[in-house]
Amino acid sequence: MAVGYDVEKWKYLRRVLERAGPFTDKDSFDASMVKEALKDVKILVIGAGGLGCEILKNLALTGFKNIDVIDMDTIDVSNLNRQFLFRSSDVGQPKATCAANFIKSRVPDVNITPHFCAIQDKDIDFYMSFNSIICGLDSVEARRWINATLVNMVDWNNPDTCKPLIDGGTEGFKGQSRVILPKMTSCYECSLDMLTPRQAVPICTLATIPRQPAHCIEWASILEWPRVKGDLKMDTDDPEHITWLYTTALKRAQEFGIEGVTYTLTQGVVKNIIPAIASTNAIIAASCCNEAFKLATNTAPFLNNYMMYTGNEAVYTYTFEHERKENCPVCGEQNEPTNVTIRKDVKLGEWIEELKARADIQLKRPSLMGLGKSLYVQQPPQLEEKTRPNLEKLVSELVGNGEEVAVSDSALPFSLRLRVLYE
Amino acid sequence: MLKIWHMKQKQVAADAAEGPAKRRVTAAQLRAQKDITEISLPSTMKMDFPDPDDILNFTLTIEPDEGLYRGGSFEFTFAIGSQFPHEPPKVKCKQKIYHPNIDIEGNVCLNILREDWKPVLNLNAVIVGLQYLFLEPNPLDPLNKEAAEDLKNSKDMFARNVRSSMQGGYVRSERFDDVRKR
């Protein structure tokens, strides 16, 4: 029983670990194994910012022993008010590393491994090595990436490839936490249309009649930067670039008699910074970590599957089951690739004829593309001409074993995915 | 449901080798492929793909056969990002032209390229919108303010300016690109 939960500080944790509660699912709760399970669970925290600091602290203090944290950012002085694992002396250092060191110094029996890089830099094997993933991100793009990656990893021959994703998010006084079981419950992509689109200002308003300080800043970044700086890529983390945008926007604001352009606002507009409130982060992170704990231990039923927290108009929380979207481009069943086995000596043209003859897919004029490769595209004529020579090539020269081919056709309301396997 | 966690851990290694690794086509490519193969261009427009394997970057040439811009050949670059269709494609005019809704840097003011973009819109809608800009330049949403003022003040003078700009001439102190159809 020497798994490290016997000491006094885990006394209250032991109460939930050692006996089932009224809502515990008796079939999946096993008091003899649960401590072992919690000790062995390997969890990945994505983001070591406002939510990330809370999440890491909570996990370490609820008995998780193996934690990895990944974040590509370095610490900015403006983070220090709420990202409490960092000190002024850490400014400029990687968030992941500093957060890991701090946790390690306070909770020494936790194995915590930092990764100072983008999530896209890690491969499938990396994500496969965790039992669960918690996200405390501020970017839709990163969420979509990790969601799609985890969904694509699922292989029903091996249930361990289904990695629960717990996603937390906050904006001011509002937030949400959700549990995504890839391919089993609705995924992040399924709910994408719930996002309020960012209100874009017509580009002609920016160019001619700015009315707000933000219009002047957008004008500076969207129109003036490329005009003056040419191909130089804008880096929103570079203080010199922000300063240039700020002074350019300020001049414009003065021309139009607009007040309120500041350096901070400039940073806020170009980086699309949303106000972060420490206590909202704490609420959402607490919910996420409780879900992680329940998933790992089966001590109580976990969230099914979406909890929204609305603190901006008094307090209102609502939990509901967000349903899967049938035609979700990431987890929808119709987007599941169909395996097709073909001979190595079949030419692309012959294969297309074979596909057209298949009664189960009913194609008329199919266009085929591989991963970043045009195989045969019938429309527009310029692409048809350029891809026509491929018809004489062997499919095996063009598509790797296991690679996907996307088929579009006027007869198909969606795109068909085929996964090519060779005999 | 998820007791798979601890208990199944032991058998993972055995099951892992199930065929070659899955490699999937991105959602942006999938949608762009569908959009592109469904476009049917009128004879006044042409698409070109400098790299036929990269359908996310291409050019569109518009040669209006009516209106003030008749006889010109206007080239636009399309860049479709990884967030397409949740983000609109980035469209720029490659030439320096005199047009109320296109500035001299090539930025285009078309509502569906920015504030009114929706994922249900497709590339065809953008192409139709661009074509429309040459048939009905709109002085109320100006990006080139002077051109818009000219159009508002006198349609005849605006038409003359369009003609001379398209031949590579000057309008006021600004010299434009020769965009005559060859």
Q: Active-site residue among A204, A288, A289, A328?
A: A204
CATH number at B136 reads 3.10.110.10
Q: Which residues of chain A fall short of a pLDDT of 50?
A: 1-2
What is the structure's pLDDT at B8? 43
pLDDT above 80 for B26? yes
Cα–Cα distances in angstroms (integers) from residue A46 to residues A165, A378, A386, B24, in the given order:
10, 42, 43, 23
CB atoms within 10 A of CB A416: 20
The rounded distance, in Å, linking the Cα atoms of B168 and B172 is: 13
Domains of chain A: 8-195+276-320 (3.40.50.720), 203-270 (1.10.10.520), 337-422 (3.10.290.20)
Structural domain includes residue B120: yes
Q: How many domains does chain B have?
A: 1
User: A246: distance to nearest CA of chain B, Å?
Assistant: 21
**Among A32-41, B19-28, B91-100, where is mean pLDDT lowest?**
B19-28
By Cβ distance, the residue of A131, A298, A401 closest to B3 is A298
If you write DSSP's letter for every residue of B46-76 in order, what string do you get?
Answer: EEE-SSTT-TTEEEEEE--SSSTTTTB-EEE
Q: Which residues of A touch B21 (CB under 8 A)?
A: 124, 402
Q: Report pLDDT for B3.
A: 52
- Domain of residue B144: give its range: 28-175
CB of B13 less than 8 A from some CB of A: no
Name the closest residue on chain B to residue A131, using Cα atoms.
B5
- pLDDT tens for each residue of A32-82: 888 888 999 999 999 999 999 999 999 999 999 999 999 999 998 889 999
pLDDT at A63: 93
Whether B20 maps to a domain, the answer reads no
Q: How confident is the model at residue B27 (pLDDT cuts 50, 70, 90)?
A: confident
| A128, A203, A297, A404: best to mutate for the B interface, most B CBs within 10 A | A203
Supply the pLDDT for residue B7.
Answer: 42
B11 within a domain of the structure (yes/no)? no
- Note whether B24 contacts A27, CB cutoff 8 Å: no
- B21 and A410: CB-CB below 8 Å? no
Nearest to B120 by CA among B92, B84, B77, B90: B84
Give a yes or no: residue B10 inside a domain.
Answer: no
B181 in any annotated domain: no
Interfacial B residues in 28-87 facing A (CB < 8 Å) = 29-31, 33-34, 36-41, 46-49, 52-55, 82-83, 86
Q: Locate tokens 């972060």: which residue? A: A276
Catalytic residue among B41, B47, B109, B143: B109
Nearest residue of B to residue A379, measured between CA atoms: B37
In a domain, B55, yes or no: yes
Residue A371 to chain B, least CA–CA distance (Å): 5
The CA distances from residue B82 to A35, A57, A169, in Å, are 43, 34, 22
Distances (CA, A) of A262 to A45, A119, A235, A248, B180: 34, 32, 18, 11, 46
Is there a contact between A404 and B16 if contact means CB atoms under 8 Å apart?
no
Q: How far is A382 from chain B (nearest CA, A)?
A: 6
Calculated CA dihedral for residues B125, B131, B135, B138, nearest 10 degrees: 60
B130-146 per-position pLDDT tens digit: 999 999 999 988 999 99
Any chain A CB within 8 A of the CB of B173? no
Q: How far A63 CA lies from chain B's nearest CA (Å)? A: 16
Give residue A103's pLDDT. Answer: 97
Which candidate from A202, A386, A410 shows the least CB-CB separation from B141?
Answer: A202
Distance in Å, alpha carbon of A253 to nearest chain B alpha carbon: 18
Cβ distance A160 to B6 less than 8 Å, yes or no, reads no
Nearest to A202 among B40, B109, B145 (CB): B109
- Single-letter residue type at A37: A
Cβ distance of A37 and B2 shorter than 8 Å: no
Is some CB atom of chain A closer than 8 A to the CB atom of B1? yes
CB B97 within 8 A of CB B69: no
Give the integer Cα–Cα distance in Å for A326 and A140: 21
How many interface pairs between A and B have CB atoms less than 8 angstroms apart?
172
In a domain, B23, yes or no: no
A98 catalytic residue (yes or no): no
> Would residue B21 count as lying in a domain?
no
Contacts of B82 in chain A (CB under 8 A): 141
**A415 with B86: Cβ contact below 8 A:** no
**B38 closest CA partner among A397, A366, A157, A336:** A366
